[in-house]
Amino acid sequence: MSTVLIEPVARLIEAFARLPGIGPKTAQRLTYHLLRAPDAEARSLAVALIAVRDEVVFCERCFNISDAPLCPICRDPARDASRLCVVEEPLDVLALERTAEFRGLYHVLHGAISPIDGIGPERLKIRELLERADHAARDGEPLAEVILATNPTLEGEATAMYLAERLDGVAGSVTRIARGLPVGGDLEDADEVTLIRALQGRRSIA
Amino acid sequence: MSTVLIEPVARLIEAFARLPGIGPKTAQRLTYHLLRAPDAEARSLAVALIAVRDEVVFCERCFNISDAPLCPICRDPARDASRLCVVEEPLDVLALERTAEFRGLYHVLHGAISPIDGIGPERLKIRELLERADHAARDGEPLAEVILATNPTLEGEATAMYLAERLDGVAGSVTRIARGLPVGGDLEDADEVTLIRALQGRRSIA
């Protein structure tokens, strides 16, 4: 088969297959699609790939992706700089922004603490987060709230616990996003841990 | 959200989402992966995309993908030029080559007859197939066999029927790949049409 698969096609299949969630079959299909698609389609993807690497940086304050030293959210004077939402990944910022529920600033850790994977606090943007909180306090405008919005996973919880401890006394309040039943979900489908969290987090409604 | 998603990132997400089978969520994940992957990974994908468009052509004899006027299979003197396997897409050639069962040449139609989609025989490489068969006959070396390996779908069957009629008398024999139960499959999971085909295609084993 290797004699049949010509070199440039094999290389593109390999490059696609290296992407997360793209198996060899999908990589083949994408490659053959692009072979026959309008020329502009393949080229615009190539150009967009190069542009993303050449033009995108991380915000020097919150470490979200950005096209300038400060990201659009950090640049926005209408955002409430006294509230910080801490997330693991830039994609989490996008998800939260879609809700339009939070009008403060973010801090992207770029991962979660995971001893098993050898990821300690020093590998994440945790020092930078503590410095942000410290600076705010020293400037006489301490953070009113730090929302810990790391994932509801083992690693995310461990990271939230670690941060809660380190931020204690530096920020006005440190909160954790609620865990419970997903809206539209079915109680009988929920796993036990989620159900326990849903019960523990119950609130009075009358 | 549009103010939050910076331009080069939005463009790459869009370019990925235009690919078949890639939804907006996957497009986002791929984009964020490439933002943080080693620089070489994003660039090698971009280079492979350009190369595939610049270097890949269709074989002028069988219309398989190729890096030269004739594809590696048509160039190979060890292949049996008297047997032709007719398929819909270049990916089908790959799948058949993996079996190492067929040592003849191919002919890629680039689709199947589908009146509903406005695809008539003239839109496919059918004229070229009939010319190949004619030339072989005129050269005194008529094709010994043409295997119709179009998909076992409505369109693939219609295409096979159409070709069988047109090739009658021009090639030694015209055959159709077998339809039946997939190996490793379960009889009770098979659809009715497949079961009917499996019964119709039954062969004596003793």
d(CA A94, CA A184): 21
d(CA A134, CA B53): 53
Bigger pLDDT: B193 vs B157:
B157
Cα distance between the two ends of chain B: 70
d(CA A123, CA A146): 21
pLDDT confidence bin for A3, thresholds 50/70/90: low
Which pLDDT score is estimated for B169? 87
Which pLDDT score is estimated for A47? 94
**Interface mutation target, options A3, A14, A16, A19, chain B, most CBs of B under 10 Å:** A19
Q: In the beta sheet, which residues pair with residue B9?
A: none
Angstrom distances, CA of residue B100 to CA of A2, B93, B179: 12, 11, 19
DSSP-assigned states of every residue in A45-77: HHHHHHHHHHH-EE-TTT--EESSSS-HHHH-T
Average pLDDT over residues A54-60: 93
Average pLDDT over residues A97-107: 91
Q: In the beta sheet, which residues pair with residue A175?
A: A147
Residue A70 tokens, joined:
């400060």
Bigger pLDDT: A126 vs B7:
A126
Please choose, from the candidates A113, A46, A53, A59, the residue with its C-alpha nearest in 3D space to the C-alpha of residue A90: A59
Residues of A in contact with B90 (CB under 8 A): 32, 35
Q: What are phi and psi of A45, to 5 degrees?
A: -65, -45
DSSP-assigned states of every residue in chain B: -TTTS-HHHHHHHHHHHTSTT--HHHHHHHHHHHHHS-HHHHHHHHHHHHHHHHH-EE-TTT--EESSSS-HHHH-TTSEEEEEEEESSHHHHHHHHHHT---EEEEE-SS--BGGGTB-GGGTTHHHHHHHHHHHHHTT---SEEEE---SSHHHHHHHHHHHHHHBTTBSEEEE---SPPTT--GGGS-HHHHHHHHHT-----
Nearest CA in chain B to A59: B6
B11 lies within 8 A of chain A by CB: yes
Chain B nearest C-alpha distance from A153 (Å): 19
d(CA B6, CA B16): 16
Which pLDDT score is estimated for B60? 96
The yes-or-no verdict on residue A4 having pLDDT over 80 is no
Which pLDDT score is estimated for A201? 81
pLDDT confidence bin for B196, thresholds 50/70/90: confident
The yes-or-no verdict on residue B205 having pLDDT over 90 is no
At A126-181, the pLDDT tens digits run 999 999 999 999 998 999 999 999 998 899 999 999 999 999 988 889 999 888 88
Residues of A in contact with B79 (CB under 8 A): none
A12 within 8 A of B52, measured Cβ to Cβ: yes
Q: Test B55 with A93 for CB contact under 8 angstroms.
A: no
Angstrom distances, CA of residue A172 to CA of A25, A76, A103, A148, A169: 52, 23, 17, 13, 7
Vertex B112, ends B106 and B114: CA angle to 5°? 170
Q: Test A30 with B53 for CB contact under 8 angstroms.
A: no
Residues of A in contact with B50 (CB under 8 A): 42-43, 46
Which pLDDT score is estimated for A1? 44
The yes-or-no verdict on residue A202 having pLDDT over 70 is yes
Q: What are phi and psi of B144, to 5 degrees?
A: -75, -35
d(CA A41, CA A108): 33
Vertex B62, ends B148 and A38: CA angle to 5°? 105
Average pLDDT over residues A41-69: 93
A8 lies within 8 A of chain B by CB: yes
Which pLDDT score is estimated for B20? 92
Chain B nearest C-alpha distance from A31 (Å): 8
Q: Test A6 with B90 for CB contact under 8 angstroms.
A: no
Please choose, from the candidates B171, B49, B147, the residue with its C-alpha nearest in 3D space to the C-alpha of residue A19: B49
Which pLDDT score is estimated for B95? 86
A43 lies within 8 A of chain B by CB: yes
At A6-20, the pLDDT tens digits run 889 999 999 999 999
d(CA B92, CA B78): 21
The whole-chain average pLDDT of chain A stands at: 90
| Share above pLDDT 90 across residues of chain B, in percent, rounded to a whole number | 67
Average pLDDT over residues B2-29: 88
At B126-163, the pLDDT tens digits run 999 999 999 999 998 999 999 999 998 899 999 999 99
The yes-or-no verdict on residue A42 having pLDDT over 60 is yes
At B64-88, the pLDDT tens digits run 999 999 999 999 999 999 999 999 9
d(CA B72, CA B147): 20
Which pLDDT score is estimated for B206? 67
pLDDT confidence bin for B1, thresholds 50/70/90: very low
Q: What are phi and psi of A174, to 5 degrees?
A: -120, 120
B46 within 8 A of A46, measured Cβ to Cβ: yes
A72 lies within 8 A of chain B by CB: yes
pLDDT confidence bin for B3, thresholds 50/70/90: low
Nearest by CB to residue B29, choosing from A18, A21, A39, is: A21
Which pLDDT score is estimated for A2? 46
Chain B nearest C-alpha distance from A204 (Å): 33
